[in-house]
Chain A
Amino acid sequence: MMEPFFIRALLAGLGLGIIAAPLGCLVVWRRMSYFGSTVAHAGLLGVALGLLLDMDLTLGVILVSLAIGGLLVVMQRQRMLPVDSLLGILSHAALAAGLVAAAKLSGQRLDLMGYLFGDIFAITNTDLVWIFAGGAVVLAIVGWLWNTLVAVAVHEELAAAEGLDTRRAEAALILILAFTIAIAMKIVGVLLIIAFLIMPAAAARPFATTPEGMVGLAALFGVTGAVGGLFLSNGWDIAGGPSIVLVLSAIAGFSMTRLVFAASR
């Protein structure tokens, strides 16, 4: 008989695997993985801010994520430094600030390791509501904007010249990325969230011929990774986040091997 905490963990992994799939594909297509991990690193600062200001922690994470996104837009007005350098600055500034804030708050209410590496077995019913209700909102927005998002991913300037609202698509993407990261943080932790987005999508790519096919496969891989990781974690008594990412790595590694061999033939 499964313990309630294990059932909650399974449900959380299942939900996140599905929510992360379309977003993960978009992150891979738009080359936003570094942006994603920057937003994820800023999540810790968001939690600290939420605790300090005594507001909902998920809201704190979303606010900080959006601030990071806005800051990046402003920083891109200069044309001397490339975007990955800017993200390197933002990402680690946010992580350092988050760690300092966490240290100041530690002993009070902040479980630092839990936020860094996730604690999927500590998922509460409230967290599950966040995952499923929030996830439904994310999926609805993605579904509504899907064609524009794919068109922009295929060729941004073409989409803009044809009159698609690429800025709205961009803004929506950053918003739902921040939102997803906020709800995924408790499950896999800020340091490993981006793996949950990228690995299933990357593993799905060689087997897909359509954008939607890639999303479907990514969802399958994501759910497999989450469930497999949970059993691994429970069996070996290791943290949930790293276990899930390890299983996802194995799936991505298998897929990558296939790609590399296909390329060398």
Chain B
Amino acid sequence: MSAATHQHVHGHNCGHDHHHHEHNAGPIRVDALLSGRGVSFARGGRTILEHIDIDIGAGEIVTLIGPNGAGKTTLVRVLLGLEKSDSGTIARRADVKIGYVPQRFDRDPAIPVTVERFLALGLPDAGADVPAVLAEVGASRVAGQQLHGLSGGELQRVVLARALLRNSNLLVLDEPVRGVDYVGEAELYGLIGRLRTTRGLGVLLVSHDLHVVMAQSDRVICLNRHVCCSGVPETVSQHPEYARLFGAQAARAFAVYHHAHDHSHDLAGEARPKDPAQGQPK
């Protein structure tokens, strides 16, 4: 781990045009599942992404936050290979298997397909593992139902189960709580956190719900076409650029929601188990 070269918080002046960039992310992290370096993307003469550096390692939850139009979804699509960046490099570790939960999952009622069939689709012999992954995400009840009849929350769990069935080691979730009620939202984030722990998954999460996300993430990247600031949630939330983007009130409100983790972070945002001497978590 290149903790020595990895700065605690990178900061840029968000509100202004940049003519000069400092890039100190350095070479691609060898342990990272998925990395982007200097990723730029423009469409129709409009810059959407500018020199983005990002790494997602195994067992860490990296969250992308940023206002509407900040390029969060575009960055995810570029990292997934669904869009081609204009410049920069995307590197995937050789063994990476991506499970993707897209922002919109438009189901087509014209296709008759059960949840079980959807899960196994494209896998030669997955049938036997289907009940296990459905139980893992708490969606056993819908196994035999038609995919197009599921509620938003059920659908998200099923898409998550599909990723698990493929033994994905990297989950990419683009605003996974869309169309899910508040209770379902907390449950879904809880589930993602548990999967990270039990399966050691890397997770790239896109969100604009600051509270829940800040509490769940190991590292937060604040995006507004370029990386405004990044680091562990505690420091990002105190960064002036974060306050500028989300308002001082949001930054303060976060402090209220801050709750005990079962681990702490080193300076680079790497999770490490909580020292038992520091007392009982929660």
A residues sitting closer than 8 Å to B (CB atoms) are 28-29, 79, 147-148, 150-151, 153-155, 157-164, 205, 208-211, 213-214
Looking at the complex, which of B10-18, B45-53, B105-113, B226-234 is the stretch in contact with chain A? B105-113
B residues near A210, Cβ cutoff 8 Å = 112-114, 117
A213 touching B166, Cβ below 8 Å? no
CB distance from A216 to the nearest CB of B (A): 12
B112 touching A214, Cβ below 8 Å? yes
Interface centre among B44, B80, B121, B159 (most CB of A within 10 A): B121
* Complex CA–CA separation, A195 to B162 (angstroms): 35
CB distance from A211 to the nearest CB of B (A): 6
A residues near B99, Cβ cutoff 8 Å = 162
A residues near B117, Cβ cutoff 8 Å = 210-211
B220 within 8 A of A: no
* Complex CA–CA separation, A161 to B111 (angstroms): 20
A164 touching B122, Cβ below 8 Å? yes
B189 within 8 A of A: no
B108 touching A154, Cβ below 8 Å? yes
* Complex CA–CA separation, A164 to B121 (angstroms): 11
B100 touching A161, Cβ below 8 Å? yes
B residues near A155, Cβ cutoff 8 Å = 102, 105-106
B98 within 8 A of A: yes
Given the known A-B contacts A157-B82, A160-B82, A162-B98, are A148 and B111 also in contact in the complex, defined by CB atoms under 8 Å? no
CB distance from B242 to the nearest CB of A (A): 29
* Complex CA–CA separation, A162 to B119 (angstroms): 13
B residues near A157, Cβ cutoff 8 Å = 82, 100, 102
B residues near A150, Cβ cutoff 8 Å = 111, 113, 121
Nearest to B104 among chain A residues (CB) is A157
A residues near B98, Cβ cutoff 8 Å = 161-163
When each residue 97-139 of chain B gets 1 if its CB lies under 8 Å from chain A and 0 otherwise, what string results? 0111010011110111110011001100000000000000000
Given the known A-B contacts A29-B108, A154-B147, are A162 and B113 also in contact in the complex, defined by CB atoms under 8 Å? no
* Complex CA–CA separation, A202 to B189 (angstroms): 39
B112 touching A162, Cβ below 8 Å? no
A-B pairs, top 9 by smallest CB distance, nearest first, are A161-B100, A208-B112, A151-B122, A161-B80, A151-B121, A29-B111, A147-B122, A209-B112, A29-B110
A residues near B112, Cβ cutoff 8 Å = 205, 208-211, 213-214
CB distance from A193 to the nearest CB of B (A): 20
Q: List 5 A-B contacts (CB under 8 A).
A: A154-B113, A160-B80, A161-B82, A210-B112, A211-B111
CB distance from B138 to the nearest CB of A (A): 21
Nearest to A28 among chain B residues (CB) is B110
A148 touching B110, Cβ below 8 Å? no
Given contacts A147-B121, A154-B108, A157-B102, 17 further A-B contacts (CB under 8 A): A147-B122, A150-B121, A151-B121, A153-B108, A155-B105, A155-B106, A157-B82, A158-B159, A160-B81, A161-B172, A163-B98, A205-B112, A209-B114, A210-B113, A210-B117, A211-B111, A214-B112
Nearest to A147 among chain B residues (CB) is B122
